[in-house]
Amino acid sequence: MQAFLNTNGSVIVEDLITVIQENRQYLSDIDGAIGDGDHGINMNKGFTLCAESLKETPGDLTHCLNTLSKILMTKIGGSMGPLYGFFFQSMAKKTGDNEKVNGQIFGEMLNAAVGSIQTISDARVGDKTLLDVLVPAAHTFNAYFAQGSDFLTALHEMKSAAIKGRDSTKEMIAKKGRASRLGERSRGVLDAGATSCCLILCTMADSIKKIIK
């Protein structure tokens, strides 16, 4: 069965840090259209602080996810810090002390991330939030894996679902956050949280492809 070592999984968080740093302005520009315009700034701050922490105390994937989670929950303002903090914390609980992470465990990580967001937010699919990416991505990965697809194939399909979910938010009317006050005027632009979630899931997939055996 295809899997990767937990000890090799630190590269996943390293790649996440890089992609968020590289897309700092892009995420803020998207957020600025209907929101506060600080999504990229806040995400970049959190992920950069994580990079600094991991330089001092490196570790396996579980350690890296927990480090990222704690920083996002304690150092980032607004709603996205806690949301992504619980997102990564729930994933870390699933990797735990497992020596290897296979498709079954990764599917559980995705489901746990969905559950964590739904526990602290009343947002639902269709509300123009990151759930419009995360829910279909998790469902697609688990559906393909359950039907017998290998880990890599399920990751490929997950990426496609994440991108489709991100793009779907463009024609949605925001139901949550500051953008919800705009009503119909919130239609026509991507949701910043959905966009960052898509970046995160697609980067995770690409990183896993590099270390899977």
The average confidence (pLDDT) of the chain is 95
* Domain ranges, residue 205: 3-211
Model confidence at 73: pLDDT above 90: yes
Average pLDDT over residues 102-126: 96
CB 186 within 8 A of CB 179: yes
Q: In this predicted model, what pLDDT tens digit does every residue of 41-55 receive, in sequence order?
A: 999 999 999 999 999
Structure confidence at residue 24 (pLDDT): 97
Task: Work out how many domains the chain is built from and give that number.
Answer: 1
pLDDT of residue 37: 87
* E strands, the chain, in order: 3-5, 100-102
The whole-number pLDDT of residue 180 equals 63
pLDDT at 202: 99
pLDDT in tens, 161-201: 999 999 999 999 888 776 666 666 768 899 999 999 999 99
Helix axes 39-56, 192-211, angle to 10 degrees: 30
Residue 139 has pLDDT above 70, yes or no: yes
| pTM, 2 dp | 0.96
> Euclidean distance between the first and final Cα of the chain, in Å?
8
Residue 92: name the closest of 73, 68, 114, 56 by CA: 68
Give the span between the Cα atoms of 117 and 114, in whole angstroms.
Answer: 5
For residue 188, what pLDDT is reported?
87
**Coil, strand or helix at 122:** coil
- pLDDT attached to residue 182: 65
- Domain CATH number, residue 86: 1.25.40.340
